[in-house]
Structure 1
């Protein structure tokens, strides 16, 4: 608990945390509401052929949980990876990990505190995203004189739970990259490369090679995209509908667990020099 409180205090006082959360909120509002609303008012169809009525329905408050999920498989995931990779990798560059682990708690306690603190930040990010998306959807409904209702508690819990699971998986990947590379720059670069570039390239190759296409479905981004798609959060890059919700959930939870175990095991077994 001491490690958790210390790490949480550091992350809350760290400007990078709030800058990245702010960037994500601007992105989700811009791509989820501003552009769609402009397209709706101008009478233009979206790139995937959605009509004006479909665009408006997607921006209603009842769809707020889907709106939170929609961006997390790719762009939201990239933001979370950057945050986690910076949080862990910077400690090696600053020398704080060496000081903490030689004079402070045991290594497992220190890394466990870091993972728990990042989990709290993930919960905060998902909650802030829902509040922002719900506020934007209420504004759209008011401007267009549409009747609306609050999402049901069960539906909201499932959607936000899936969002936390996806964001947590990406955060765990960022932690692993920060631990393995012992620095923020390479960890951030590798995380962004994987989340935004590598899996998309593999999906392109998968159109020609069946085995590669099957592989992309079970990679971290593919599992996250299928979980979002199973919940109905379609219409965004990285969202897929090739696996069931149960299968995708198990894959995402499995990746999260494996990344966390690797991060803890590596921290315990490896020399810090």
Structure 2
């Protein structure tokens, strides 16, 4: 693999990716979900006559405090383990799987650069796009929470720079893991629709079912539960947001330690990339 060629592919892929409406649709969906569930619904519940409907047992003061800038890391990362993660998986599948749907795979692999350079460049482009998306999510959360704070006469103080940086790096790791898993599924299955369907069913359904069974009925499933990507993503978010107010978002739970979660997520990225490289290198162009 040639590093220079991989960087050239990354630049070319980003040039194409930022011009794809489907990619921005996914980003818009992440932003809308984040804004609605982290700010709009809690704030409207706070302003209503019966604020207990959104978070049972929470007082109006707690509902308001949960939307302020001090909680920006918690509110931004809350949906990453499940909903934003599923959308990131769809993005990864979209980038690499489209080459098979468009029939451009043959053209790419029969010309320079080498196959592994192309694959590395595509995956780097996915991670770079994810990193930029996380910046946008944090920026929108800061703007919305600051507007609420100013409107309600509350403190607009943000968390420390180090805490924001930790949240950003952790959030980028979580979404990048899901995106690389989606990209690998697209390479293995040579399509977009099937990886997206399987990935979303896994992220939103199967993982939650296995976790619930391990927690309630079948404790023998705990070792399996503790290595699932969504569980580790939720554990990392929980470790990064100890100051959260009220109930944790779906999928956010301290199942394993933050350090173990980071190691597991990085292992998923490496293993997924190796599997994708093996399939990509050996695939027949016919």
TM-score range, shorter chain: over 0.9
C-alpha distance 221-18 of structure 1, shift in aligned 2 (>3 A):
same
Of 61-70 and 157-166, deviating more is 61-70
Cα distance in 2 for residues equivalent to 1:89 and 1:240 = 32
Does residue 172 (structure 1) correspond to residue 185 (structure 2)? The answer is: no
TM-score, normalising length: structure 1: 0.96
Does residue 215 (structure 1) correspond to residue 228 (structure 2)? The answer is: no
8 Å contact from structure 1 (residues 230, 243) kept in 2: no
DSSP 3-state at the match of 2:226: helix
- What is the root-mean-square deviation in Å for CA atoms of aligned residues? 1.4
Cα distance in 2 for residues equivalent to 1:86 and 1:102 = 22
Which whole-Å deviations, capped at 9, do the CAs of 1:212-250 have from their partners, x for residues lacking one? 234223200000010011112662111111221111111
Which whole-Å deviations, capped at 9, do the CAs of 1:126-159 have from their partners, x for residues lacking one? 0000011111100111121101212211111111
Does residue 161 (structure 1) correspond to residue 169 (structure 2)? The answer is: yes
8 Å contact from structure 1 (residues 74, 221) kept in 2: yes
Which whole-Å deviations, capped at 9, do the CAs of 1:60-79 have from their partners, x for residues lacking one? 11221222211100000011
DSSP 3-state at the match of 2:63: helix
The match for 1:44 is 51
Cα distance in 2 for residues equivalent to 1:4 and 1:159 = 25
In structure 1, stretches of 5+ residues that fail to align are none
In structure 2, stretches of 5+ residues that fail to align are 1-6
Which ranges of 4 or more aligned residues in structure 1 deviate by more than 6 Å? Answer: none
The match for 2:260 is 247
Which whole-Å deviations, capped at 9, do the CAs of 1:42-83 have from their partners, x for residues lacking one? 242234533322222221112212222111000000110111
Cα distance in 2 for residues equivalent to 1:111 and 1:28 = 31
The match for 2:86 is 78
Q: Give the alignment partner of residue 205 of structure 1, picking from 201, 206, 213.
A: 213
DSSP 3-state at the match of 1:85: helix
C-alpha distance 49-214 of structure 1, shift in aligned 2 (>3 A):
farther
Cα distance in 1 for residues equivalent to 2:118 and 2:165 = 31
Alignment of 1:25-44 (within 5 A): 25-42=31-48, 43-44=50-51
TM-score, normalising length: structure 2: 0.92
Of 204-213 and 117-126, deviating more is 204-213
8 Å contact from structure 1 (residues 89, 179) kept in 2: yes
Cα distance in 1 for residues equivalent to 2:75 and 2:285 = 42
Does residue 149 (structure 1) correspond to residue 157 (structure 2)? The answer is: yes
Q: Give the alignment partner of residue 224 of structure 1, picking from 228, 233, 252.
A: 233
Cα distance in 2 for residues equivalent to 1:272 and 1:54 = 58
Alignment of 1:13-24 (within 5 A): 13-24=19-30
Cα distance in 1 for residues equivalent to 2:16 and 2:234 = 31
Cα distance in 2 for residues equivalent to 1:49 and 1:87 = 43
Which whole-Å deviations, capped at 9, do the CAs of 1:182-222 have from their partners, x for residues lacking one? 01110110111111111011122221000223422320000
DSSP 3-state at the match of 1:235: coil
The match for 2:3 is none
Cα distance in 2 for residues equivalent to 1:182 and 1:48 = 45
DSSP 3-state at the match of 1:103: coil
